[in-house]
Amino acid sequence: MRAIGIILAGGGSNRMRELAMKRAVCAMPIAGFYRSVDFALSSMSNSHISTVAVFTQYHAGSLNEHLSSSKWWDFGRKQGGLFTFTPAITAENGFWYRGTADAIAQNLKFLKDCHEPYVVITSGDLVYKMDFNRVLAYHESKGADITVVCKDVPETVDAGRFGSIRMNEDMRIEEFEEKPLVARSNTISCGIYVIRRRLLIELIEMSEAEGRYDFVRDILIRYRGTKRIYGYKTEDYWSNIASVDDYFATNMDFLKPEIRKYFFGTHPYIYTKVEDQPPAKYNSMARVANSLISSGCIVNGTVEDSVIFTGTFIGNNCYIKNSILLNDIYVGDNTYIENCIVESHSTLQTNSYYKGDDGVRIVVENTERFVL
Amino acid sequence: MTKKEMIAMLLAGGQGSRLGVLTARMAKPAVAFGGKYRIIDFALSNCINSGIDTVGVLTQYEPLRLNTHIGIGIPWDLDRNFGGVTVLPPYEKMANTEWYTGTANAIYQNMEYMENYNPEYVLILSGDHIYKMDYENMLSYHKASGADVTIAVMPVPIEEARRFGIMITDENGRVVDFEEKPEQPRSNLASMGIYIFNFDVLREALRAGASQPGLDFGKHIIPWCRDKGCSLFAWRFDGYWKDVGTLTSYWQANMELINIVPEFNLYEEYWKIYTKNMPLPPQYIGKSALVERSIIGEGAEIFGTVRNSVIGCGVVVGEGTEIRDSIIMNDCNIGRNCSIDRLIAAEEVTVGDGVRTGVGEEVPNETDPHIYKGGLCTIGEQSVIPDGVSIGKNTMIFGVTKASDYQNGGLESGRTLMRA
């Protein structure tokens, strides 16, 4: 592949509420045992991009732990590899990443030292699968300076939560508004870009000199008139997990057979760090319906329409409905859970009751657990 | 010269013919176990958990599956700059080329491998046992007792002792005598086939036995050591240990895993069992499915009923199907409206719709009554079973079968059916 990859994974999010208390959004667990950054990493690996940089900042610990070895995504190579860049104090700079463009600017040496002609930039909080070779071929055929992957969303979705795009008939982007009050188009930016490496270096250096630090606002929007910026439309599944409701819906999407088939049943596959959990176990009163159960789980109670992550224990006579239980949770006997997201490592006492009445309720129970 | 204190030599070359069709195309250590594991995972995980990072795996019979499973040892952290896992098949030499003719002969043919690491001690293991053992404890015992050879033993019921090699020890654990499969056992301490040798003693013993046909640890090396006056000690192990050498013991050991608190617990944090993990999603349990008293591997999709069973990774169980007391290995596809009892299906078996197994009377198997028994139906890997057939007890099926292979739509108990 003639491109290197950049994954922007530094963000926290207020809209993730308590879930962002202990991890970056890109480290959010997805579909039983993936992390959201796995989707970007796997797409890069499957597109044969061999050099990938991940920029981390907010709660980098959880993400760095996940990326402790590059071999799960097949990046452990002599040529290229997986590089994690967290802000560092240097002789020239003492700032955190002040924005996405600044993150690239602070690590410009990495870009300059590569030899690949193109860069694929993606956000790490997206759930998708993409062959970047196709995007790159499109980019070249259009003679574009920058290509933005975009998608038409249904009228029911508020396009104002995303970057809103209007293009001419040749797919050249004429209007690009970031999170507008009223979106004038139902085409949104997917947060995935292709750009020539030398042009990126040039634009980043100019922005930095002007004290501009945001890639979307200060490069895509600012240069949309002077540079040839094109849209590449995708019809495939794409989801951004920037809010609790998006996160909940994205996980629940994996209960649909066509979504599971798309991600897991068709090549190329999604890779993640291996956990060495034993097979899931169902004891005699287990009643599970329409749910995803991950390895390492032990189920004694009833689970319906839910996603249960690895290593979670569900006690006798529990009733769990329409909920997401993250990894390594202990659910005591006779507990009722509905419309909830339960934070990982929580210990839910016996006879508890949790229900999200209007919307999804986030449950965090840091009760100490004694394990023999 | 660089040096490892102890290296392990893992014997994985045997066919395990008593597992019948399960070992038709793979060595016994490569046979799937417990939903997502293969039998060799237990010995390899024990090695790394005991701090042994140099393991030679001796292969001979059908090694392909084993080789691809082990690879460079990444799942067990046995990919090392110095040491790690090395697969050791028999090889051609300037003179006297031969297959591995016995357990000790296999080790003898790999003297050079062992000498590379200049070890103090060599641990001899078999790749076909299910257990968790800290070999470091055994080594401490070996050092403390000043033994030349330490043999791991476990107490067995005295009436079963005649199936094993039995060690007779004094009060200090020193082996004073031993007997192979005795009619009148004088002790209940059975040898587990796990030995620690001082390397120089092992080297001498192997060289002395070099010309012995079928050179074997139990039959030749241990007696040689005794006759030479080496000090032999027995190290007693009281944990769970299972030789899954027969189809019934294999089925039994799998079924024990589904008890609420199994004697052999895979869920302990501090002694994990590692295996090669495929990139597989969590399992999906459908709307009208019922799963109880079972363990199920990753990526399985269950739409029917599963009771008292061990289901491997990527298995699909169709709607209306009921599976009881069965072992279904990785990537099998079980159709709809089947009724499956006591089935062992090897990997990638396809079972059509409306198939019934375990029907009819107990009749001894016509070809191998000592293998296919206990009412089990055993299906070899990549076999295909057509829609709507009934299959009896103590049966074996291997290959792509068609409806015309079944008389009156069924296979009677005790029959063996093989097709290309």
> To the nearest whole number, what is the mean pLDDT of chain B?
94
Chain A residues with CB under 8 Å of B310 CB are 279
Radius of gyration over alpha carbons of chain A, in Å? 22
Residue A371 vs residue B37, higher pLDDT: B37
Rounded-to-integer distance, Cα B261 and Cα B352, Å: 35
Mean pLDDT of B203-214: 95
Q: pLDDT band for position A274 (50/70/90)?
A: confident
Give pLDDT, residue B268.
85
- Stronger pLDDT, B303 or A80, i.e. the higher one: B303
The predicted pLDDT at position A179 comes to 87
Instruction: Pick the closest to residue B267 from B70, B132, B74 (CA basis).
Output: B132
- pTM for the predicted model, two decimal places: 0.92
Give the CA angle between residues A98, A100, A106 to the nearest 5°: 65
What phi and psi, each to the nearest 5 degrees, are found at residue B17?
A: -65, -20
Report long-range pairs for A70-75 (Cβ below 8 Å, ≥24 apart).
A71/B74, A72/A271, A72/A272, A72/A273, A72/A274, A73/A38, A73/A41, A73/A42, A73/A44, A73/A45, A73/A271, A74/A45, A74/A271, A75/A41, A75/A45, A75/A50
Contact B291 A288 (CB under 8 A): yes
Q: Which of A282, A290, A298 sits opposite B267 (nearest CB)?
A: A298
Please give the distance of CA A237 from its chain centroid, rounded to a whole number: 13
Contacts of A252 in chain B (CB under 8 A): none
Task: Beginning with the edge strand found earlier in the chain, give each strand of the sheet holding B290-292 in spatial order.
Answer: B290-292, B305-307, B322-324, B339-341, B356-359, B390-392, B410-411
Residues pairing with B241 in the sheet: B131
CB B129 within 8 A of CB B152: no
Identify whether the C-beta of residue A243 lies closer than 8 Å to the C-beta of residue B238.
no
Give the mean model confidence (pLDDT) for residues A316-330. Answer: 96
Contacts of A53 (CB under 8 A, 6+ apart): A4, A5, A6, A7, A83, A84, A85, A107, A110
CB distance B282–A32 less than 8 Å?
Answer: yes
CB neighbourhood size of B130 (10 A): 24
Selected for mutation to probe chain B from A251, A295, A305 (highest B CB count within 10 Å) is A295
Residue B201: which of B180, B222, B216, B173 has the closest Cα? B222
Question: What's the CA gap between B244 and B42, in Å, rounded?
Answer: 12
CB atoms within 10 A of CB B1: 5
Distance between CA B211 and CA B266 in Å, rounded?
A: 43
With an 8 Å Cβ cutoff, are A255 and B291 in contact? no
Tokens 């209306």, residue? B320
* pLDDT score at B96: 82
Average pLDDT value for residue range B152-172 = 90
Question: Which sign, positive or negative, has the C-alpha torsion B243, B248, B254, B259?
Answer: negative
Write down how long chain A is.
372
ipTM of the prediction = 0.90
Provide the shortest C-alpha distance from residue A66 to chain B (in Å).
16
Q: Does residue B1 register a pLDDT over 70? A: no
**Dihedral Cα B352, B355, B361, B364, nearest 10 deg:** 10
What are the residues facing A233 on neighbouring strands?
A: A150
Residue B161 binned pLDDT confidence (cut-offs 50, 70, 90): confident
Instruction: Tell me the nearest-neighbour CA distance from A239 into chain B, angstroms.
Output: 18
Tokens of B246: 């027969």
Where does the pLDDT of residue A226 fall: very low under 50, low under 70, confident under 90, or very high at 90 and above?
Answer: very high
CB pairs under 8 A between A and B: 112
Chain B residue with CA closest to A270: the answer is B279
Residue closest to A305 by CA, chosen among A347, A339, A342, A279: A339
Q: Band of the pLDDT at B303, cuts 50, 70, 90?
A: very high
Q: State residue A76's pLDDT score.
A: 85
In angstroms, the separation between the Cα of residue B66 and the nearest Cα of chain A is: 19
Residue range A3-264 in CATH 3.20.20.70 = no
In Å, what is the CA distance from B10 to each residue of B51, B56, B137, B266?
A: 15, 6, 18, 22
Half-sphere exposure of A91 (CA within 13 A, CB side): 0
Over residues A345-368, the pLDDT tens digits come to 999 999 999 999 999 999 999 877
pLDDT at residue A54 greater than cutoff 90: yes
Residues B143 and B121 sit within 8 Å (Cβ to Cβ): no
pLDDT tens per residue across span A208-224? 999 999 999 999 999 99
pLDDT at A371: 59
**Residue A279: its chain B contacts at CB < 8 A?**
34-36, 266, 295-298, 310-311
Q: A372 pLDDT exceeds 60?
A: no
Rounded Cα distance between A31 and B284, Å, is: 11
Task: Tell whether B287 lies on the interface with A, counting CB pairs under 8 A.
Answer: yes
Predicted pLDDT of residue A155: 85
Residue B125, pLDDT > 60, answer: yes
Q: Where are the domains of chain A?
A: 3-264, 281-363
- Cα B369 to Cα B216, B346, B372, distances in angstroms: 28, 19, 6
Domain A281-363: CATH superfamily is Hexapeptide repeat proteins (2.160.10.10)
Counting every residue, how long is chain B? 420
pLDDT reading at A175 higher than 60: yes
**How many angstroms away from the CA of B127 is the closest CA of chain A?**
20
Give per-residue pLDDT as tens, B366-401: 999 999 999 999 999 999 999 999 999 999 999 999
Closest of A277, A332, A349 to residue A310, by C-alpha: A277
Residue A73 near residue A271, CB atoms below 8 Å: yes
Interface list for chain A against chain B, based on CB atoms closer than 8 Å: 31-34, 71, 254-255, 260, 263-264, 269-272, 274-276, 278-296, 298, 303, 307-310, 371
Best CA proximity match to A2, nearest among A82, A117, A134: A117
pLDDT band at A16; cut points 50, 70, 90: confident
pLDDT of res. B378: 96
Handedness of CA A214, A220, A223, A227 (dihedral sign): positive
Give the rounded distance of the alpha carbon of A81 from its chain centre. 20
CB contact under 8 A, B279 and A276: no
In order of A236, A240, B148, B361, the CA distances from A230 in angstroms are: 18, 21, 76, 72
Backbone angles phi, psi at B242, to 5 degrees: -135, 125
Residues 311-330 of B with CB under 8 A from A: 311
Q: Do B295 and A308 touch (CB under 8 A)?
A: no
Contact residues on chain A for B282, CB-CB shorter than 8 A:
31-33, 280, 292-295, 307-310
Cα of B324 to nearest chain A Cα, Å: 13
